A and B are shown apart, each in its own frame.
Chain A
Amino acid sequence: MWVMIFFCLLVGLVLGFQLPVLLPLVYTKYMSIAVLAALDSVLGGIRAYMEESFDNVIFISGFFVNMLLAAGLAYMGDRLGVELYLAAVIVFGVRLFNNLGIIRRYLLKKH
């Protein structure tokens, strides 16, 4: 399971570096929020998997919806003049560390 996750991540990274896509500077802020949301969703999925409460539909929909919502919220914040992306960074950051802690505890319990 872990081997597969890292293998896929690696393949994705290589693929991404090979793609001739260059994000304009103005969009990197939204992309970074989207990446953070995606990271949170993946860790949440792994956690649910370890808790044996994994739901495919919730996981996939959460991944895409969270990502789009986070980027969209950051964009809206920019239009409104409120730095909403900071809220997204804090929320996703806290959840990320929470999920990491829970995964760590499960792994420690298992071995």
Chain B
Amino acid sequence: MKSKSAQISIALVCLIMGVLLAIQFKATENYQTDLIPERVDELTQKLNTVTQQKDTLEEEVLSLRDKLINVRETDKAMKDLQDELQKVQMAAGTIPAEGPGVIVSLNDSNLNIQPGDNANYSIVHDSDLLIIVNELKASGAEAIAINGERLTAMSEIRCAGTLILVNWTKIGPPFTIEAIGDPDMLQSGLMLNGGHLSTLKFLGLQTSVQKMENIKLPAYNGPIKIKYAVPSQYQEKAE
């Protein structure tokens, strides 16, 4: 019975199968070529931050010249020193900070690992935290803490067996990264297509980014040892 309806149903089923095949192709292909767009994004982000850095450096030169003039008129010098101290302390993470920002939560995949699956894909690594902290910094984060450990200029993020070391303190999942900065900028910097967070989500890890009106970060209260570096006179390169 080579009826019309038989042909129609075969055609319809072929259509559905085509869609299924295409989705499957896309999924397997995407997983393999996911790295290339990420690289492009990485480079553009780098370029942006470098140009921004240049701009801020130029501004800094101008303000430093002003300060030089102020130092000569010693009255204003003390106040400038106080300002400078506070700024440097903020950058170093040695005073508590608060302000608007984002909270990034990361946790291991809650799916069961099956024989044959690579367990490395379903847990949060130290490198994941590093990349996300780096992306936050690239998007203008001014102060960052992971699970309450404030990141300083000399903080490390390092794998230590099943845990991660930050400021020589052991932390484990779930991870909470708090960052102070422009919440919109930070969020869009993290959610960038091809960014690391989307890769983690693709692998089935639990991630979330939450914008906050006010975050309070603790100060780094460990010892700061500077043994080898001494201040030196350096030639300013600005013209």
Tally of A interface residues using CB under 8 Å:
43
CA gap between A104 and B94 in the complex, in Å: 77
B21 contacts A by Cβ under 8 Å = yes
Contact indicator A25/B202 (Cβ below 8 Å): yes
Contact indicator A25/B1 (Cβ below 8 Å): no
B235 contacts A by Cβ under 8 Å = no
A31 contacts B by Cβ under 8 Å = yes
Given A52-B1, A79-B112, A38 contacting B16 (CB threshold 8 A): yes
Contact indicator B24/A42 (Cβ below 8 Å): no
Contact indicator B204/A25 (Cβ below 8 Å): yes
**Of the 9-residue stretches B26-34, B124-132, B153-161, B215-223, which lies at the interface with chain A?**
B26-34
A68 contacts B by Cβ under 8 Å = no
A54 contacts B by Cβ under 8 Å = yes
Contact indicator B20/A35 (Cβ below 8 Å): yes
Min CB distance, B117 to chain A, in Å? 9
CA gap between A10 and B23 in the complex, in Å: 13
Centre residue among B11, B19, B30, B111 by max chain A CB count within 10 A: B19
Main SS class of interface, A:
helix
Given A25-B202, A26-B111, A56 contacting B5 (CB threshold 8 A): yes
0 or 1 for each of A7-30: is its CB under 8 Å from B? (1 = yes): 011111111110101111111100
CA gap between A54 and B6 in the complex, in Å: 7
CA gap between A23 and B20 in the complex, in Å: 11
Beta-carbon contacts under 8 Å, A93-108 to B: none
Nearest A residue to B203, CB-CB: A25
Contact indicator A49/B2 (Cβ below 8 Å): yes
CA gap between A15 and B6 in the complex, in Å: 23
A90 contacts B by Cβ under 8 Å = no
Contact indicator A38/B17 (Cβ below 8 Å): yes
CA gap between A98 and B157 in the complex, in Å: 57
B116 contacts A by Cβ under 8 Å = yes
CA gap between A99 and B176 in the complex, in Å: 55
CA gap between A60 and B12 in the complex, in Å: 10
Contacts of A25 in B (CB 8 A): 27, 31, 121, 202-204
Contact indicator B9/A8 (Cβ below 8 Å): no
Beta-carbon contacts under 8 Å, B3-54 to A: 3, 5-7, 9-28, 30-31
Contact indicator A42/B14 (Cβ below 8 Å): yes
0 or 1 for each of A48-59: is its CB under 8 Å from B? (1 = yes): 010010101001
Q: Which B residues fall within an 8 A CB radius of A?
A: 1-3, 5-7, 9-28, 30-31, 111-112, 114-116, 121, 202-204
Q: Which A residues fall within an 8 A CB radius of B?
A: 1, 4-5, 8-17, 19, 21-28, 31-32, 34-35, 38-39, 41-42, 45-46, 49, 52, 54, 56, 59-60, 63, 78-79, 81, 83
